[in-house]
Amino acid sequence: MGLTEAQRASWEENGFFIERGFADRAVTDAMIERIVEIARADAAGEQRPDLFITPDKTKKNPLTPEVGVSKIFRVMRAEPVFHQFATDPRLLSMVGDLIGPDVDCFLSQFIFKHPGTLGQPWHQDDYYFRMTPLPQVGVWLACTAATPENGPLWIVPGSHTEPIHDAVPDTREGAGLAYVEIVDAATDNEQVVLMEPGDLLVFHSHLRHRSTDNLTDGMRAAMVYHYAAAGSEGFLAFNQDWTEVLRGGQPVQASTEPVPIEY
């Protein structure tokens, strides 16, 4: 298993590669079903101190609880459908080839983009992480189609070789939590990433990327994981949930015990 020659070449040249149809539709549908259950349970008062839920600030009076949610973090440890995907041997084989034999999953987040939700400006994930050693690997699983109109990702191929850029706060009304924007770098060669449910984008933590607003009447959704070398050092945030997933090149039985967030 591991990376193919084409995947390796795209990673080194462009900072990303895409695996079409990596996950079955049953998996992505199950993720959506479970995350909606979590959002509705939270709205009903269920206490989940192991999760971190951020609101969609563009939704003042959402018709359903999930429409009022932007992101749900830390779902991979105690939620089986998200845990199983994060520890899929096929996925870990690719990630291990990029990072090394000892790997942790340190961040998991389900991302809703409902009709009218704003996109996220140009940024690099390591602007937030500031970790060593490099790289950290992002894994973006499309749970719905990402179309030109519903707020897909855009990327700048080759920008993974750049340092971390300065960024300014995103001051738009309704902007997401901690959104920033890179304003000092050209995006002439930007490329849209159109995806079908089950498609997988694997990308470098220095790759510049953004998403656009959802201009449709349907939801765009994705499940995103971030992996790093075991023992990495950097900024530790309350939305992270460090979990061992690979040791000595072999998948490990990761803990599924929920861990409350420590502020």
Residue 19: strand pairing partners: 200
Domain ranges in the chain are 5-249
Q: To the nearest whole number, what is the mean pLDDT of the chain?
A: 95
pLDDT by residue (tens digit) across 126-166? 999 999 999 999 999 999 999 999 999 999 999 999 999 99
- The pLDDT value given to residue 262: 61
Q: Are 125 and 240 in contact (CB under 8 A)?
A: no
Could you say which DSSP state residue 154 is in?
E
Calculate mean pLDDT across residues 42-67: 93
Q: Which residue has the tokens 């149809």?
A: 21
The pTM of this model reads: 0.95
In this prediction, residue 177 has a pLDDT band, given cuts at 50, 70 and 90, of confident
In this prediction, residue 263 has a pLDDT band, given cuts at 50, 70 and 90, of very low
Say which residues have a Cβ less than 8 Å from residue 136's Cβ, sequence separation at least 6.
99, 106, 125, 126, 129, 204, 205, 226, 227, 228, 232
Domain 5-249 CATH assignment equals 2.60.120.620? yes
Strands 52-55, 220-229: pairing is: unpaired
